[in-house]
Chains A and B, each alone.
Chain A
Amino acid sequence: VDEGGTQCGICTPGFIVSLCGFVLSDHPKTVENAINAVAGNICRCTGYKSIERAIGHIVTKLQGKDALPPLAWLIENEFLPSYFTGIQERLDAIKPKAQPEITENTVFVGGGTDLYVQRPAQMLPAEIVHLYNRTDLKGIWKDNGRCRIGASTTAEALKQSKIIKELSPKEIEAYFDLISSAQIRHMGTLAGNLVNASPIGDLTVFFLSLNSNLVLNDNGSLRELPLNQFYKGYKVLDKKDTEYIQELNFELPKSDTFYFNFEKVSKRTYLDIASTGSAMSLQCDANGKILKAGASAGGVAPVPFYLQKTVDFLEGKTVSVEVLSEALDIAQTEVAPISDVRGTAEYKKLLLRQLMLGHFIKFFPEMAKELLGQLTAV
């Protein structure tokens, strides 16, 4: 109010509710985190600067907040209305309805962040089995040299996971910040992203490059298959109507000569769908020889694409500028993107090369610089 953070006012309740989530959360009370909390809200009037200034005031006032229990403090200091007292009990009292039997007509719903947007009309009468609240499908744990992730784990849980963080300790949160918004990351599930089968599914691209496997559950009977065999064609899956994903797993990296990187470029850097995305993992030995590779690309084929030829080429090679350069060329021969509203085919192809260059910059910065010099030489 003091900073003019509201103009026409129609987006304002959304910002208020997002900030409400922020003050209630146990995230550190920094301006950065507060902005992250409203990053999924669009305002067409203010240009956001006045909202940022208002957030600055809120964060300053929150510095006095007691650690626990926060609710009473927040109500007392007028961050929240008094009806928030006892809200947890009231929420607990709302019991979910009993779920129907799984049949061939079942529509499995994770967070519903895509389904309810894409086909709202069909969702109303559908026979829905909700998987989001299934605690047995949540969690990220290590088991026998593999990382296992429950299907209903949210993108936000992945972002916060210490095990996932080990893939690329400094970068992992930044990767997930590129994926939708805080609100959607709290709802959208891993399996939802995989089953959606979008060729540009961010989590799909991410886990494809880790040579992940899926475990599917068909009324109790389980089967496991590699993720890169799950996609048969545009939005066509190797999945029966009664099957749902139970788990995804991948082999944990073995040494500190493990490299992982995720890249995504979209029209708007945050809160957008990729034009092209890519991820790569390399397990090297001490001499720079590539023992195991994985590489994926989104937006360049009808399915989330595994760069098999590039991987085959890289495995067994010792890293050099020439090897990396050839890998870029091979990847270009594997993909055949189409022109659409997210970019022309020509652009997406160039972008894939650039994103792979992005991987190499993260892994081998000096060699990548040389590579870039070759690419721009006339």
Chain B
Amino acid sequence: MKNIDSYTHVRGESIYVDDLPILGGTLFGVIFDSPVAHAKILKLDTSEAEKMPGVKHIITYKDIPGENQIGGIFPDEPSLAEGEVHFKGQPVALVLATSKRAGHAALSKIVMEVEELPVIVDPREAAAKGEIIGTQRTFKLGDPDGQWDKCAHVFEGVAESGGQEHLYIEGQGAYAFPVENGCIRLVSSTQGPTQVQRAACRVLGVPMHKIEVDVRRLGGGFGGKEDQASPFAVLAALGAMHSNKPVKLILDREEDMRMTGKRHPYTSDFKIGLDKDLNIIAYEVDFYQDAGAAADLSPAVLERSLFHATNSYYVPNVKARATSCRTNVPPNTAFRGFGGPQGMFVIEAAISKAAEELGVDRAVIQERNLFIDGQPFSYGQITEGCEAKNAWSQACEKFDVEGARKRIAAFNAENTFYKKGLALMPICFGISFTNTPMNHARALVHVYQDGSLGVSTGAVEMGQGVNTKMLQIAALTFGVNPDRIKIETTNTTRVANTSPTAASAGADLNGKALQIACNAILARFKTFIKDSFKASSEDAVELREEGVYIDGKKVDWNWETLVQKAFLARINLSEKGHYSTPKIHFDKTTEKGHPFAYHVYGTAIFETTVDCVRGRYEMDAVHIVHDFGKSMNRIIDKGQVEGAMVQGVGWMTMEELRYNEQGRLLSNALSTYKVPDIYSAPKEVNVEFLETAGSDLAILKSKAVGEPPLMYGIGAYFALVDAIKAFNPKANGLFSSPMTPERVLMALYNK
């Protein structure tokens, strides 16, 4: 089935926050953000700015009626700076004006006097100075300390991965409308409507039922709107409450880039030990996460780095330690993969280090150590339905990796100015929020008396096609045409207490809840039909193709007559379904448990060509064998794999986030921060659907697909390294991403 949003998308009719009609009296919010990265605020004078034409209110922390606090995991982030600022771009004051232009004009009239404090931009420096968020975490399996002497080979090194700007094309924004009795209706571009509601209520000092959050769709999220839609939605709500006018707050691109956090950069120490047959015996890793100035979701991201520290490889002795380091950059946050990619990059680097020291192909070490069923992860869960070797071997066979190697060797022997490289990248990604209490969802289904349906869930549509999947579930359960079903906005008054649409779990959790709701209505219908037609049992009744069947024979009721008669018989045509993932648990005191419903596997093969004169490169081909389970929507799922993979390639290659020593973002616009364009997407992309059993905990056995394929992008990095080595065999120890053309050229000519 096609994405149900695509019709309005191609006609330019889809509605985003900025497309809402402007209500009369609306004020436009513009944020005065800190021009320095760390300082005491000595004086904040808004008096001149207040006199500017069109300026109606200037709001500071003093105007906050509730608590000046928006921190999700830890209460360490004010809504508006109070006394100190901790990163450049931190909101200090909110200007409300009759136009955005008037608001912007007032910014330069606000005077903030500060006493600057030392700025930290390096996570290791932060850790050394004790600037740590939460506690250090350590996952342990076996006894790595006792193994090093027994290993035939032990290698150590440092690996670094850079940050990544989400660059959702729709920036952060919200539109708040005051309604009677101090209530606010808040339209937000957020992945977490409940998170926005909770944060706004805290700051406004009102109970949660007073704020209704509504989300139609997002113009991209990628994790950047999981926690970080809140600061801006809260300010819009605060403005609306303060002024009793509608307040619209939309960040322009540069504001968005300097005020919001990104994917966490990591710097990590690794130590890997192998036996003489290249089995990995022991692995030790020490992650330093650059969390930015506040916790945000960093502790949860940190945890996922630990969960994925050995990627698809079984290592019997593991010690993985992780430290979240407080620096003076915007609080870094969720980004597709959520710490998983950072964790995996390090073990891939460790394997490369071992391979180059031992003079073997890194794929040999990779393949030898892939997980098989029944082996434990470092956190105690045992692999079930493991497809790691299956995906690897099918990728090698279907895409003739041996042939490709020969082709590349021949090309490299013939060509002086260009060299080709190849790398394989297996993935293994756990599905579920690692914080077990978050794994639940609800759905609300109304069958209207004319036979049309309205479906509300807690899932937020952001391009991943979750609404299409929800519609498929309802249509399948009732056996009706998809055009009878409308997927409603995600709204906190219809579906409350939701978890954010994140962790790739949106379709599983909300889809299961929707199935429960639909099945409850279906059961009532079946009983009603059984009684009306004197059928033998409910099991004899079937609804399909808009018709009613008893014992396989069509009766003279269609869907519409069924609904009308059921309505007249006063049968409940609405239902709310609640689902919570069974089986999962995790004990943070022992760091052991069964945190994931299931794992997703796959393998990608990257082929690249490097221009050894200029340092430029192209991705020639990417071949992927991916474990979708039983895909419920192949168009959408393939789109997720391709899109995530290219985003991962961007993170590993051209996307370079740069802050200077003063904590100023240098790559602060699209002219300096580069995401893949159509020419830098790999030329050939093949996605092979691996036929697997799926998992009962996946919706319709169709496995979650949002995040896992991003990590294929790591293969692009190592394919580039492979090509570089073909030109300059001395180019060793390349474990610092992104592999920009600059890094490539320097490595090509490094002697």
> A-side interface residues toward B, CB under 8 Å?
1-13, 16, 35, 38-39, 41-52, 117, 121, 263, 265-273, 275, 340-344, 346-347, 350-351, 354-355, 357-358, 361, 369, 372, 375-376, 378
Residues of B674-707 at the interface with A, using a CB-CB cut-off of 8 Å, are 674-681, 685
User: Given A265-B614, A267-B740, A375-B749 in contact, is the A42-B646 Cβ separation under 8 Å?
Assistant: no
Instruction: Provide the bound-state CA to CA distance between A153 and B218, in Å.
Output: 40
Alpha-carbon distance A3/B746, docked complex (angstroms): 40
Residues of A within 8 A of B666 (CB): 340-341
Contact at B741–A265, with CB atoms within 8 Å? yes
Q: Please state if A269 and B169 are interface contacts (CB–CB under 8 Å).
A: no
User: Are A50 and B639 CB-contacts (below 8 A) given A7-B464, A7-B465?
Assistant: yes
B728 interface residue per 8 A CB criterion: yes
Residues of chain B with a CB closer than 8 A to A7's CB: 3, 463-465, 639, 643
Check A2–B416 contact: CB distance below 8 A: no
Contacts known (A45-B220, A46-B643); A12 close to B12, Cβ less than 8 A: yes
Q: Which of B148-183 contact A (CB under 8 A)?
A: 166-170
CB distance from A359 to the nearest CB of B (A): 10
- Tell me if A45 and B615 are in contact (CB < 8 A): no
25 pairs of residues in contact across A and B, judged by CB atoms under 8 Å: A1-B10, A4-B2, A4-B638, A5-B6, A7-B463, A7-B643, A8-B169, A8-B462, A9-B463, A10-B219, A10-B220, A12-B12, A16-B12, A47-B647, A52-B678, A265-B614, A268-B676, A268-B677, A269-B616, A340-B666, A341-B658, A341-B672, A347-B742, A350-B746, A354-B613
Contacts across chains A and B counted by CB atoms under 8 Å = 186
Binding site for A on B (CB under 8 A): 2-3, 5-10, 12, 14, 16, 104, 166-170, 217-222, 416-417, 462-465, 613-616, 618, 635-636, 638-639, 642-647, 654, 656, 658, 666-667, 670-672, 674-681, 685, 727-728, 730, 740-742, 745-746, 749, 751
Q: How far is the CB of B719 from chain A (nearest CB, A)?
A: 17
Residue of A nearest to B679 (CB): A270
**Chain A residues near B8 (CB, 8 Å)?**
9
In the assembled complex, the CB of A174 is this many whole angstroms from the nearest CB of chain B, namely 12
- B9 near A45 with CB under 8 A, answer no
The answer to whether B749 touches A47 (Cβ under 8 A) is: no
Chain A hits for B672, CB < 8 A? 273, 341-342
Within the complex, what minimum Cβ distance (angstroms) separates A279 from chain B?
14
CB distance from B320 to the nearest CB of A (A): 31
Chain B contacts for A275, CB-based, 8 A: 741-742
Q: Which residues of A contact B636 (CB under 8 A)?
A: 4
Given known A-B contacts A47-B645, A267-B674, A267-B741, A8 and B463 have beta carbons under 8 A apart: yes
Most buried by B among A5, A48, A346, A375: A48
- Which among A8, A39, A49, A344 is the interface contact of B685 at CB below 8 angstroms? A49
Task: Considering the complex, give the chain A residue whose CB is closest to the CB of B417.
Answer: A361
A266 to B8, alpha carbons, bound, how many Å?
A: 36
Of the candidates A7, A43, A372, the one having the most CB atoms from chain B within 10 angstroms of its own CB is: A7
Q: With A45-B220, A266-B741 given, name 13 new contacts (CB 8 A).
A: A4-B6, A4-B636, A7-B463, A42-B675, A44-B169, A267-B674, A270-B680, A343-B742, A351-B745, A361-B613, A369-B416, A369-B417, A378-B730
Q: Are A347 and B218 in contact (CB under 8 A)?
A: no
Bound state CA distance, A51 and B646, in angstroms? 13
With the chains together, A273 CA to B3 CA distance in Å? 36
Tell me how far the C-beta of A369 lies from the nearest C-beta in chain B, rounded to whole angstroms.
6
Report the separation of the CA atoms of residues A357 and B611 in the bound assembly, to the nearest whole angstrom.
Answer: 12
- Determine if A270 and B677 form an interchain contact, defined as CB atoms under 8 angstroms apart: yes
Contact of A269 among B219, B220, B639, B679 (CB under 8 A): B679
Tell me, in angstroms, the Cα distance from A2 to B639 when the chains sit together: 12
Residue in chain A with minimal CB distance to B648? A47
* Residue numbers in A under 8 Å from B217 (CB-CB): 8-9
By the criterion CB–CB under 8 Å, are A8 and B170 in contact?
yes
- Whether B678 contacts A38 by the Cβ 8 Å rule is yes
Q: Which of B638, B644, B674, B685 has its CB near the most chain A CB atoms (within 10 A)?
A: B674
Residue contact A6 to B5, C-beta cutoff 8 Å: yes
What's the Cα separation between A308 and B647 when bound, in Å? 43
The 3 closest A-B pairs by CB, nearest first: A8-B463, A10-B219, A47-B646
A117→B676 CA distance, assembly (Å): 21
CA distance A355 to B643 in the complex (A): 33
Closest to B14 in A: A9
Cβ–Cβ contact B220 & A265, under 8 A = no
Q: How far, in Å, is B165 (CB) from chain A's closest CB?
A: 10
Docked-complex contact A10 and B170, CB < 8 angstroms: yes
A271 to chain B, nearest CB (A): 5
Question: Which of B3, B677, B745 has most chain A Cβ within 10 Å?
Answer: B677
User: How many angstroms between the C-alpha atoms of A131 and B14 in the bound complex?
Assistant: 37
CB distance from B12 to the nearest CB of A (A): 4
A47→B643 contact, CB < 8 A:
yes
Q: Which residues from B are CB-within-8-Å of A376?
A: 727-728, 749
CA distance A50 to B8 in the complex (A): 18
- Most chain B C-beta atoms within 10 Å of own C-beta, residue among A6, A271, A343, A376: A6
Check if A344 sits within 8 Å of B222, measured CB to CB.
no
Point out the residues of chain B lying under 8 angstroms from A6, CB to CB: 3, 5-6, 9-10
B677 near A271 (CB under 8 angstroms)? yes
Q: What are the residues of chain B within 8 A of A10 when measuring CB–CB?
A: 14, 16, 169-170, 219-220
Is the beta-carbon distance between A44 and B742 smaller than 8 angstroms?
no
A39 neighbours in B (Cβ, 8 Å): 677-679
Of listed B728, B730, B742, residue having the most chain A CB within 10 A: B742
Known: A50-B642, A350-B746, A355-B614. A44 touches B222 (CB 8 A): yes
* A7–B705 CA distance with the chains assembled, in angstroms: 14
Whether the pair A48, B2 counts as a contact (CB closer than 8 A) is no
Nearest B-chain residue to A348, judged by Cβ: B742
Residues of chain B within 8 A of A358, CB atoms compared: 613-614
Q: Quote the shortest CB–CB distance from A116 to chain B (angstroms).
A: 13
Q: List, in ascending order, chain B residues with CB within 8 A of A342's CB.
A: 672
Chain A proximity of B723: nearest CB distance (Å): 15
Q: Are B681 and A49 in contact (CB under 8 A)?
A: yes
Are A4 and B675 closer than 8 Å at their CB atoms? no
Is the pair B613, A341 in contact by a Cβ cutoff of 8 Å? no
Inter-chain contacts of B220 with A (CB < 8 A): 8, 10, 44-45
How far, in whole Å, are A97 and B635 apart by their CA atoms in the complex?
A: 49
The 8 Å CB contact of A46, one of B615, B639, B749, is B639
B2 CB contacts on chain A under 8 angstroms:
1-2, 4
Instruction: Determine how close the nearest CB of chain B comes to the CB of A139; give it in whole angstroms.
Output: 30
Complex CA distance for A369 and B679, rounded to whole angstroms: 28
Q: A12, B416: Cβ atoms under 8 Å? A: no
Chain B contacts for A266, CB-based, 8 A: 674, 741
**Neighbouring B residues of A3 by C-beta, 8 Å:** 635
Chain B residues whose CB sits within 8 angstroms of the CB of A38 once the complex forms? 678
The residue of chain A having its C-beta at the shortest distance from the C-beta of B751 within the complex is A378
| Residue among A117, A267, A343 having the largest count of chain B Cβ atoms under 10 Å | A267
A42 touches B169 (CB 8 A): yes
Q: Which residue of A lies closest to B746 (CB)?
A: A347
CB distance from A326 to the nearest CB of B (A): 19
Report the minimal beta-carbon distance from B603 to chain A, rounded to whole angstroms.
18
Q: A46–B681 Cα gap in the complex (Å)?
A: 10
Q: How far is the CB of A122 from chain B (nearest CB, A)?
A: 12
Which of chain A's residues have a CB closer than 8 A to the CB of B170? Answer: 8, 10
A264 (CB) vs chain B CBs: closest residue: B614
Chain B positions within 8 Å of A267 at CB level: 654, 656, 674, 740-742
Q: Nearest Cβ distance between residue B33 and chain A, in whole angstroms?
A: 17
Contact A265 B615 (CB under 8 A): yes
Q: Is the CB of A273 within 8 A of B671?
A: yes
A44 touching B167, Cβ below 8 Å: yes
Are B647 and A44 interface neighbours, CB within 8 A?
yes
How many angstroms between the C-alpha atoms of A94 and B324 in the bound complex? 59
Nearest B residue to A344 via CB reads: B742
Residues of A within 8 A of B639 (CB): 4, 7, 45-46, 50
CB distance from B711 to the nearest CB of A (A): 14
Which of A9, A268, A347 is in CB contact (< 8 Å) with B219?
A9
Question: Residues of A contacting B7 with CB < 8 Å?
Answer: 1
Select one of A12, A35, A268, A341 contacting B654, CB under 8 A.
Answer: A268
